[in-house]
């Protein structure tokens, strides 16, 4: 059994042979690409709300704002080039996302006031192991960098800080806690699993945890993994009923006439294949983070962890307007609304790119 280890403070990646205790690790790392800064100032821009005169879109209200996030900019439109705006029809209001990770900051400005501490599999640990969980939560629900800026986050800590690893027991116990917590806090909810556990077999305990969450009405959205491997081999993505997310990026290619154009492609070094339900940005995406002293910053991140976060945010948008949707219906909507076959190098004949832009908007709109 092999697992990828990604550390917040380094781009070094290690492959380890694991014994009886399964290692669970985050599927992301901080971007260190040449020419890209690790932090950035906020973009000075404006936001607007439009009420449609008539529309077949899910919501009659459309939100649009300037954005520094390449990821948000990409998922609200069908094709390139980008336009430096993020447009969406919902905000995730009233939706809860349970983030299974290594701890989420309650004080980061992108998330402040919308993070509740929930379960921990390691009570003696620090509350936050590193910035990974905060970045994932930011992709889901960051105020300016997240897909669903009004969604609520519950921190489900299943990573042990000293080893930066988790256990199957922590995941299963966390899932059972989530089911009970959901009974106490009813309403639409999502489980985000931005980790991989195994690359050679299915894990029955995780299969059961997925089934139990889905039976409670909670869709489980998982990262495909940061390995150049068929996603069908990766647990928990190979558990039946999960929504499996691959990572995409934008690169350039030279045309026959010598001109250069931007194109979408699978992010290098990430899982591929027919078991991926939808791709979302995961290559140098700007997200909330923490420095060594846990002070809030913004950084560029790589990996399918972040891609899964964006898809969880998209699910939150849908659940705001369809609060009684089943996990299967959530998955089908994400696939139905996706942009088809725009990605290079997916190693499949058919692929989907996450799309959250307003659907079928009326030409006439009134600015509020």
Residues noted as catalytic: 101, 132, 305
- Record the tokens describing residue 70, joined without a space: 């390449």
Query: For 182, phi and psi rounded to 5 degrees?
Result: -65, -30
- Nearest Cα neighbor of 246 from 157, 336, 324, 347 is 347
- Record the tokens describing residue 104, joined without a space: 């989420």
Q: From CA 84, how far away is CA 206, in angstroms rounded?
A: 39
Q: What is the CA radius of gyration of the chain?
A: 19
Q: The tokens 């009004």 sit on which residue? A: 150
- Record the tokens describing residue 64, joined without a space: 């649009």
Q: From CA 110, how far away is CA 102, in angstroms rounded?
A: 18
Residues in the chain: 368
Sign, CA torsion 139/143/145/149: positive
- Record the tokens describing residue 182, joined without a space: 């959901």
The angle at the Cα of 68, spanning 140 to 196, to the nearest 5 degrees, equals: 35
- Record the tokens describing residue 165, joined without a space: 């690893």
Q: From CA 30, how far away is CA 321, in angstroms rounded?
A: 34
Q: From CA 197, how far away is CA 358, in angstroms rounded?
A: 36
How far, CA to CA in Å, does 234 sit from each of 109, 160, 202?
34, 21, 8
The angle at the Cα of 22, spanning 120 to 281, to the nearest 5 degrees, equals: 75
List the 285-290 sheet strands across, edge first.
29-30, 296-302, 285-290
């Amino acid at each position: 059994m092999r697992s990828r280890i990604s550390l917040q403070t380094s781009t070094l990646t290690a492959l380890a042979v694991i014994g009886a205790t399964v290692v669970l690790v985050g599927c992301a790392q901080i971007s260190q690409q040449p020419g890209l800064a690790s932090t950035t100032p906020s973009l000075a821009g404006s936001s607007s709300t439009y009420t449609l005169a008539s529309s077949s879109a899910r919501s009659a209200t459309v939100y649009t704002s300037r954005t520094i996030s390449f990821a948000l900019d990409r998922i609200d439109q069908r094709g390139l080039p980008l336009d430096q705006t993020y447009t969406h029809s919902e905000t995730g209001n009233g939706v809860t996302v349970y983030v299974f990770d290594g701890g989420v900051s309650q004080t980061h400005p992108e998330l402040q006031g919308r993070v509740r501490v929930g379960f921990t599999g390691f009570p003696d640990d620090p509350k936050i192991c590193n910035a990974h969980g905060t970045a994932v939560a930011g992709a889901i629900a960051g105020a300016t960098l997240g897909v669903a800026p009004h969604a609520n986050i519950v921190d489900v800590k299943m990573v042990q800080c000293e080893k930066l690893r988790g256990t199957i027991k922590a995941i299963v116990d966390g899932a059972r806690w989530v089911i009970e917590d959901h009974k106490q806090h009813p309403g639409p909810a999502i489980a985000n699993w931005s980790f991989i556990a195994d690359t050679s077999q299915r894990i029955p305990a995780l299969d059961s945890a997925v089934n139990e969450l889905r039976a409670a009405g909670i869709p489980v959205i998982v990262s495909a993994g940061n390995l150049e491997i068929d996603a069908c081999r990766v647990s928990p993505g190979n558990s039946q009923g999960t929504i499996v997310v691959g990572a995409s990026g934008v690169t350039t290619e030279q045309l026959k006439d010598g001109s250069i154009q931007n194109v979408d492609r699978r992010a290098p070094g990430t899982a591929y294949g027919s078991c991926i339900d939808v791709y979302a940005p995961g290559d140098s995406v700007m997200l909330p983070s923490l420095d060594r002293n846990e002070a809030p910053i913004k950084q560029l991140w790589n990996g399918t962890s972040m891609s899964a976060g964006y898809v969880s945010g998209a699910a939150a948008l849908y659940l705001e307007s369809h609060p009684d949707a089943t996990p299967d219906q959530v998955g089908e909507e994400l696939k139905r609304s996706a942009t088809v076959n725009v990605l290079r190098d997916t190693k499949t004949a058919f692929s989907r790119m996450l799309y959250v832009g307003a659907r079928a908007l009326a030409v006439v709109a009134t600015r509020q």
